[in-house]
Structure 1
């Protein structure tokens, strides 16, 4: 499997993921390549190339409807990033982590479930780090 960090290092792919996230609050049916091209203003071949990389990394899922393809964000692989990143955030901010506002509406069921899983993982990681420090007397 491709290193997820290499995949998300590309700005265009991050833009596609952001778009799919924002579109997921409006519909569970996915976003067509045509919509992605229109929203991001990049060519269809470029979008298709980046979607293939995202698909290979299992960051997006695809639903076929005749000749059309509809893409949706797959949140499970993003847990790898969360698991890697949380210790740095806990170390940097402790209990003073800044609030982050996202410009999206209510999450659909699958995204809400994923957010809950990520939140639990973050809380668990924070607890493990705090417990380790406590045992060491820090």
Structure 2
């Protein structure tokens, strides 16, 4: 198999996995593969430039990684509980809090000066200054 387009028999997984394909084989990005996996497995040359990894060694590393990093689950823990608080039929399900939107409150309090009137008054003053007669300095 001198090139990447070499014919492969159908149904047979190759023993050697090229460096450009190995991180996909493990289902991770290249950076994660280079950081986590590559220091622990052997690589070898294929042809002039190619680098490959042994699929069996990659599988052994993956098995060891799973064994070391797996999170054990409690046997009697119910992992199939509904994720929504509004699940229909759930006993003791908490109701969503009923909040009134700010726009629909019946009782409003004054929150400062009126923006519309203030803006109009300031605009009129500025307009008078700009369009009015200039004062003479004498």
Is TM > 0.5 for Structure 1 vs Structure 2? no
Greater helix proportion: 1
Q: Which has the higher contact order (CA 8 A, sep 6+)?
A: 1
Could you state the TM-score of these two structures normalised by the residue count of structure 1? 0.28
Tell me the TM-score normalised to structure 2 length: 0.28
Larger Rg: 2
